[in-house]
């Protein structure tokens, strides 16, 4: 079992269209960490509303992400599965972090630049402050390990900077209260394996994403076998046979992506996939990839369907998770309020 101070936290936004990148980069890893750590897995609905969400769709998406966690093998009894808005500490600590983080730090965040696009003046303030809320999600539980995809690396680094600045700014108060000098730990990103950045099936330079308009760009966790087969067959490739060395993959982004997906689904690595398929035509490899993807995703998709049909059960899992999460985060918040110098009841 984990050391007493080790704790995993991660989240997925309920923004619709859960995809293979979310599964391989995050959810599959969540499952694998359960034996070694105490884990909190959160449906981050406060993050979702940084861009417009239709209220009825949002509710559906929250339950769908929770269902995906459970269907993939997250244990909501041994660990904690909940939605962010049910635990007020996230928003409260985020405000305090808004006052710790510097504008210059947030101005460097590439996700904001990508998501706000050209019309930056019209982006929500929430989208800009998103990384501070993410730091609060993690640090409210004083989590030490955060499994995420490669795209979240920069936000994790910001969370570490916020933790350090808080500890420094308030070092005297922390000492006066008799608390550990490193009140907030430095959360470690867990970004590893062959599929930390799954790319679009239509464009090897863009990440597979929920918010990408083209459905053909991603494999959704709700796709059936025919849809998966059609999307993989149509996936963009170059005209050459499969690379014969790992080195060669570096200059061939589409091949690199499909090989990475295969390796991650097979719990293998790129070198082993190349040893098996290197030099073959893409058509052959794509058929093997279709078979593997369907065999791995179909049971998850079926279980998600079953769970989503019983929203009462999902709401009960989320409610029980939120109660247990609140107990941990509440303790952190009590300390934080004392550290900052607020008068309390």
> Which residues form the interface with ligand ATP (CB under 6 A)?
12-13, 15, 21-22, 25-26, 148-149, 151-152, 196-198, 207-211
Closest to ligand ATP by CB, 43 vs 333, is 43
Catalytic hit among 59, 60, 115, 165 = 115
Catalytic residue status for 115: yes
Catalytic hit among 60, 113, 165, 210 = 210
Rounded least distance, CB 174 to ligand ATP, Å: 30
Rounded least distance, CB 66 to ligand ATP, Å: 13
Closest to ligand ATP by CB, 118 vs 172, is 118
Catalytic residue status for 210: yes
Beta-carbon contacts of residue 117 (< 8 Å; ≥ 6 apart): none
Q: Does the annotation flag 21 for ligand binding?
A: yes
Beta-carbon contacts of residue 240 (< 8 Å; ≥ 6 apart): 252, 255
Catalytic hit among 28, 207, 231, 286 = 207
* Secondary structure of residue 80 in the 3-state scheme: strand
Beta-carbon contacts of residue 124 (< 8 Å; ≥ 6 apart): 50, 51
Closest to ligand ATP by CB, 174 vs 221, is 221
Q: Does the annotation flag 98 for ligand binding?
A: no
Catalytic residue status for 296: no
Measuring CA to CA, which residue among 291, 270, 294, 288 is closest to residue 193? Answer: 270
CA atoms within 13 A on the CB side of 11: 30
Rounded least distance, CB 147 to ligand ATP, Å: 7
Rounded least distance, CB 340 to ligand ATP, Å: 30
Hey, which residues does 7 pair with through a beta bridge?
38
Q: Does the annotation flag 208 for ligand binding?
A: yes
Token pair, residue 310, equals 């019983």
Closest to ligand ATP by CB, 83 vs 209, is 209
The answer to whether 277 and 248 are in contact (CB under 8 A) is no
Strands 145-147 and 188-190: parallel
The b/e string for 208-236 (b: 16+ C-beta within 10 A; e otherwise) is bbbebeeeebbbbbbbeeeebbebbeebb
With tokens 């993410």, the residue in question is 134
Rounded least distance, CB 217 to ligand ATP, Å: 10
Closest to ligand ATP by CB, 59 vs 197, is 197
Binding site as annotated, residues:
13-15, 21-22, 137, 149-151, 198, 207-211
Residue list, annotated binding site for L-tryptophan: 137
Q: Which residues are annotated as a binding site for ATP?
A: 13-15, 21-22, 149-151, 198, 207-211
Catalytic (active-site) positions = 115, 207, 210
């Amino acid at each position: 079992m984990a050391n007493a101070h080790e704790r995993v936290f991660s989240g997925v936004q309920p923004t619709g269209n859960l995809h293979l990148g979310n599964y391989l980069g995050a959810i599959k890893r969540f499952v694998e960490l359960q034996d070694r750590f105490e884990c909190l897995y959160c449906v981050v609905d406060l993050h979702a509303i940084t861009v417009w969400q239709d209220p009825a769709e949002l509710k559906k998406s929250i339950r769908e992400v929770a269902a995906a966690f459970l269907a993939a093998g997250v244990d909501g009894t041994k660990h904690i599965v909940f939605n962010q808005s049910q635990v007020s500490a996230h928003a409260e600590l985020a405000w305090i972090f808004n006052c710790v983080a510097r504008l210059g730090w947030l101005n460097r965040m590439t996700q904001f630049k990508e998501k706000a696009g050209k019309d930056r003046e019209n982006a929500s303030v929430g989208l800009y402050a998103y990384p501070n809320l993410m730091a609060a999600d993690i640090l409210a539980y004083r989590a030490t390990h955060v499994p995420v995809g490669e795209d979240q690396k920069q936000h994790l680094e910001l969370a570490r900077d916020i933790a350090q600045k808080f500890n420094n700014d308030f070092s005297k108060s922390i000492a006066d209260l008799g608390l550990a000098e490193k009140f907030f730990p430095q959360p470690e990103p867990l970004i590893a394996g062959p599929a930390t950045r799954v790319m679009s099936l239509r464009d090897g330079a863009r990440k597979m994403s929920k918010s990408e308009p083209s459905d053909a760009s991603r494999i959704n966790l709700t796709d059936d076998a025919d849809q998966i087969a059609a999307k993989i067959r149509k996936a963009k490739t170059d005209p050459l046979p499969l690379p014969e060395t790992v080195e060669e993959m570096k200059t061939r982004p589409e091949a690199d992506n499909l090989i990475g997906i295969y390796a991650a689904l097979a719990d293998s690595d790129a070198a082993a996939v190349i040893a098996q398929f290197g030099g073959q035509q893409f058509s052959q490899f794509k058929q093997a990839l279709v078979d593997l993807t369907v065999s791995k995703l179909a049971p998850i998709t079926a279980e998600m369907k079953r769970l989503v049909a019983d929203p009462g059960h999902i709401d009960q899992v989320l409610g029980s998770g939120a109660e247990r999460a609140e107990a941990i985060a509440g303790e952190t918040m009590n300390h934080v309020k004392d550290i900052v110098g607020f008068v309390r009841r």
